């Protein structure tokens, strides 16, 4: 029996700070002086070494963003040469075991090491070192490798001789459709064109290589394992990753489609955050007056470019999507960071601005807790008398930013001065010049107002809209300037690039 197998060797009895070292005593009587530099990882810049706590098996140092937990074995490695050699040998054996398993999984999929490197975004040299057990595999790297092959962590310990897959594309398409993912969505948004073309050109039984690649994209978005995808069982959209809170959901909506598309948009939001190279410049405003004043003073007039720039400078990523139906906008808090999805088919800048302001309010007021969301499944409008208090607040915020609290007064002024609906267009242009409120904002507000009274004034309101440049392209260009796709692996990069096309 090795001495380190004895619990008294492992248990910490006392800890005190001695200069720039922690003096640590174990239950077996050993005393160790561990330098603070050894205890604190290089990437941690803010910590409170004097406020440490400890229990029998670890030393805990308060730090940001997470406390540093130093287990007994790391402390012993720093002081006991024989134990350090033992742990190094054990790590080498473990690395070889993991590497051998990854190689077996790769070969089972019929993949060459170069193909696995391309799929996972790692270098061929890294794959070779891992498979030969010449390096430890960080958890994130291991996840990348497994997901890119359509596996998960359970497959590392599974029986490779078990063959439960039912690799049948028609059956998969039917099961996906049942879960809310139709074939057109797969072709246009999930699978890149090259993969879809390859699948379409094959006749008869599809090669495992193509099926595995198709499954890898589904795994990346929905978290299904390869076994789940090919098992023949129903594919269940798990709601937890998105933590979806529907502030609007039509009575006749297809909940499976909403969950599937929301999961897809949520995953894209994660990728945008992972690829982001932007730095947060400003803190969130505390009220609408502060927001409007800061926006105008620092960025200028209220237009799509300026509101976008302010959102990104607040550290809020903004992703545009142009798909029709399902939902019309969303905002997420993903592990403490915020991302907004704008989903519009119109080319009206005013509508895009209103939706962005609406979602910004949800970020400020409703998404302070980690991993929460708001998903809008109906078109947003300045009027929301039948909706929740959260929606009314978000609309009020957007209206106050755009109209400086004068929306209803200006609408009544336009109607009164026009006298009749035929004169409204001319009157709106006049009032816009007098008040410095944009024509498209005013015309939209009044069109929505008249619509609630049974009057369709939208054809005229459309003529007053700012539509150039294409607002989708404006939001997309801002996003592309704020992210680096090289931070993503090839599957992730393909997903995001396909979504923006």
Query: Residue 160 burial by CB count (10 A; 0-12/13-18/19+): exposed, middle or buried?
Result: exposed
pLDDT of residue 386: 46
- In this predicted structure, the answer to whether residue 466 has a pLDDT above a threshold of 50 is yes
At residue 364, does pLDDT exceed 50?
Answer: yes
Question: Which segment, 83-92, 160-169, 395-404, is predicted with the most confidence on average?
Answer: 395-404
Of 181 and 244, more confident: 181
Angstrom distance (rounded) from CA 197 to CA 218: 17
Segment 101-154, tens digit of pLDDT:
888 888 877 788 888 888 888 888 888 888 887 777 777 788 888 888 878 777
Tell me the pLDDT tens digit for each residue of 17-52. 988 888 999 999 999 998 887 777 766 668 888 888
Confidence band, pLDDT 50/70/90 cuts, at residue 241: very low
Most confident of 62-66, 341-345, 476-480: 476-480
Q: Where is mean pLDDT largest: 239-243, 276-280, 474-478?
A: 474-478
Q: Per mean pLDDT, which range of 206-210, 354-358, 434-438 is the poorest?
A: 206-210
Pairing mode, if any, of strands 337-343 and 317-321?
parallel
Answer whether residue 281 shows pLDDT above 80. yes
Q: How many CA atoms lie within 13 A of 234 on its CB side?
A: 7
Contacts 24+ apart (CB under 8 A), 490-494: 490/118, 490/119, 490/120, 490/121, 490/148, 491/119, 491/147, 491/148, 491/216, 491/217, 491/220, 492/121, 492/220, 492/271, 492/274, 494/192, 494/217
Average pLDDT over residues 167-176: 85
pLDDT of residue 385: 47
Q: What would the CATH number be for the domain defined by 3-79?
A: 3.30.2020
Q: How many CB atoms lie within 10 A of CB 313?
A: 16
Average per-residue pLDDT for the chain: 85
Of residues 338 and 5, the one with the higher pLDDT is 338
How is residue 293 written in tokens?
């004043």
What is the CB neighbour count within 10 angstroms for residue 178? 11
Q: C-alpha angle with apex 461: 456 to 466, nearest 5 degrees? A: 150
* 257 vs 326, more confident: 257
Whether the per-residue pLDDT at 62 is higher than 80: the answer is: yes
The sheet with strand 12-18 has its strands ordered as: 12-18, 21-26, 31-35
Per-residue pLDDT band for 159 (boundaries 50, 70, 90) equals low
Per-residue pLDDT, 476: 97
Asked if pLDDT for residue 244 goes beyond 70, the answer is no
Judged against a pLDDT cut of 80, whether residue 164 lies above it is answered with: no
What pLDDT was estimated at residue 378? Answer: 63
Query: DSSP alpha helices (H): ranges in 202-242?
Result: 208-222, 226-230
237: Cβ contacts below 8 Å, ≥ 6 apart: 179, 180, 222, 256, 259, 260, 263
Task: Identify which has the larger pLDDT, 371 or 300.
Answer: 300
Q: Is the pLDDT of residue 472 over 90?
A: yes
Residue 203 confidence (pLDDT)? 65
Least confident of 83-87, 154-158, 337-341, 344-348: 154-158
* 3-state secondary structure at position 382: coil
Closest CA to 363 of 329, 399, 338, 398: 338
Pick from 20-29, 99-108, 266-275, 485-494: least confident: 99-108
Beta bridge partners of 334: 337
Q: Are strands 337-343 and 329-334 parallel, antiparallel or unpaired?
A: antiparallel
pLDDT at res. 233: 83
CATH topology of domain 95-156: 434 Repressor (Amino-terminal Domain) (1.10.260)
The count of other CB atoms within 10 Å of the CB of residue 37 is 9
Using the CB atoms, write b or e for 136-150: b if 16+ within 10 Å: ebeeebbebbbbbbb
Band of the pLDDT at 205, cuts 50, 70, 90? Answer: low
Span of 59-73, 103-117, 243-257 with lowest mean pLDDT: 243-257
Q: Rounded CA gap, 480 and 278, in Å? A: 11
> Model pTM?
0.68
Q: For 453-473, what is the mean pLDDT?
A: 93
Across 64-73, 260-269, 484-493, least confident range: 64-73
Q: What is the pLDDT of residue 93?
A: 74
H-helix or E-strand spanning residue 17: strand 12-18
Which of the residue ranges 105-109, 181-185, 289-293, 381-385 would you say has the lowest mean pLDDT?
381-385
Per-residue model confidence (pLDDT) at position 449: 86
Q: CA dist 293 to 286, 317, 339, Å?
A: 12, 21, 23
Residue 330 has pLDDT above 60, yes or no: yes
Cα–Cα distance list, 190 to 269, 325, 436 (Å): 14, 17, 44
């Amino acid at each position: 029996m090795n001495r380190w197998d004895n619990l008294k060797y492992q248990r910490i009895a006392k800890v005190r700070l001695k200069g720039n070292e922690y003096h640590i005593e174990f239950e077996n009587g050993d005393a160790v002086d561990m330098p603070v530099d050894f205890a604190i990882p290089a990437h941690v810049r803010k910590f409170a070494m004097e406020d440490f706590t400890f229990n029998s098996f670890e030393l805990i140092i308060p730090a940001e963003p997470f406390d540093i937990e130093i287990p007994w074995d790391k402390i012993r490695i720093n002081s006991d040469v024989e134990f350090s050699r033992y742990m190094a040998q054990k790590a080498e054996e473990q690395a070889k075991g993991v590497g051998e398993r990854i190689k077996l999984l790769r070969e089972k999929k019929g993949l060459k090491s170069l193909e696995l490197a391309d799929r996972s975004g790692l270098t061929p040299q890294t794959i070779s070192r891992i498979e030969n057990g010449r390096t430890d595999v960080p958890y994130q790297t291991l996840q990348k490798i497994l997901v890119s092959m359509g596996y998960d962590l359970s497959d590392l310990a599974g029986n490779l001789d078990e063959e439960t897959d039912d690799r049948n594309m028609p059956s998969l398409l039917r099961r996906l459709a049942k879960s809310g993912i139709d074939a057109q969505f797969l072709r246009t948004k999930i699978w890149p064109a090259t993969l879809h073309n390859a699948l379409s050109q094959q006749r008869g039984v599809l090669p495992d290589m193509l099926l595995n690649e198709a499954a890898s994209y589904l795994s990346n978005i929905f978290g299904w394992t390869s076994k789940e995808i090919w098992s023949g069982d129903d594919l269940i959209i798990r709601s937890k990753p998105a933590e979806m809170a529907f502030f609007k959901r039509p009575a006749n909506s297809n909940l499976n489609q909403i969950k599937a598309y929301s999961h897809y948009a949520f995953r894209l939001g994660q990728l945008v955050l992972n690829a982001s190279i932007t730095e947060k410049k400003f803190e969130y405003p505390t009220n609408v007056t502060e927001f409007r004043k800061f926006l105008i003073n620092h960025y200028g007039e209220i237009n799509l470019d300026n509101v976008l720039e302010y959102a990104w400078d607040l550290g809020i990523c903004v992703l545009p999507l142009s798909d029709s139906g399902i939902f019309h906008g969303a905002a997420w808090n993903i592990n403490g960071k915020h991302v907004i999805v704008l989903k519009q088919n119109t080319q009206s800048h005013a509508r895009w601005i209103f939706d962005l302001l609406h979602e910004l309010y949800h970020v400020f007021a409703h998404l302070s807790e980690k991993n929460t969301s708001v998903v809008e499944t109906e078109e947003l409008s300045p009027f929301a008398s039948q909706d929740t208090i959260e929606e009314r607040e978000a609309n009020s915020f957007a209206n106050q930013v755009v109209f400086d609290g004068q929306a209803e007064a200006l609408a009544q002024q336009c109607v009164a001065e026009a006298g009749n609906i035929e004169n409204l267009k001319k009157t709106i242009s006049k009032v816009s010049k007098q008040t410095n409120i944009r024509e498209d904002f005013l015309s939209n507000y009044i069109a929505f107002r008249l619509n609630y009274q049974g009057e369709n004034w939208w054809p005229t309101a459309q003529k007053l809209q700012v539509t150039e440049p294409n607002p989708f392209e404006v939001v997309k260009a801002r996003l592309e300037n704020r992210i680096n796709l090289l931070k993503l692996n090839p599957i992730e990069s393909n997903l995001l690039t396909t979504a923006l096309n």
